[in-house]
Amino acid sequence: MVKISASLVLRLAASLAIIGLISSPLASPAVAEEQAPQALQAQLERLEIVTATGAHAFDVEVARTDRERARGLMFRRSLPQDQGMLFLFESERPIAMWMKNTYVSLDMVFVSRNGRVTSIAHGAVPLSETVIPSGGPVYAVVELAGGAADAIGLSVGDRVRHPGFER
């Protein structure tokens, strides 16, 4: 069995993103660490996640550009349980995320173009540079406060509703 270091995985993910094989906020243009922390913008949009326990509403900041996706929730010191961030990509493809400069634990919900949950990364570790892969092609990632996915009973196959997804 071959052991691969975390730094090699990061370099590989960055290389694949550069040649267009995967999309990765961690491989996007560098975001200056010295930038002041930003609060969730006033332009929050409603997102609903439908699980076996019902419909659960969240107010999300939407990251549509490479710069917004690269910044994500970095430098934030808190995240209300009813808020989060929606990362929308141009097409479905494998996505790689990480927690560098992110101080709050997050649940990452990977979503297909039609709004179905394809995989969930529970409780991503703050400040970790470990790569968190989508496990296959996805169109979006919803980041919620750590523990939110369990609190709403989120499962693969559940539906995410937002205008960014096909109806």
Digit-by-digit pLDDT tens for the chain (167 residues) are 444 444 444 444 544 443 344 444 554 444 444 344 444 445 899 999 999 999 999 999 999 999 999 999 999 999 999 999 999 999 999 999 999 999 999 999 999 999 999 999 999 999 999 999 999 999 999 999 999 999 999 999 999 999 999 75
Tell me which residue of 165, 51, 42 sits closest to 115, measured CA to CA.
165
What class has domain 6-31+40-161? mainly beta
Going by their DSSP bridges, the two strands 83-97 and 106-111 should be labelled as unpaired
pLDDT at 115: 97
Q: Where exactly are the structural domains of the chain?
A: 6-31+40-161
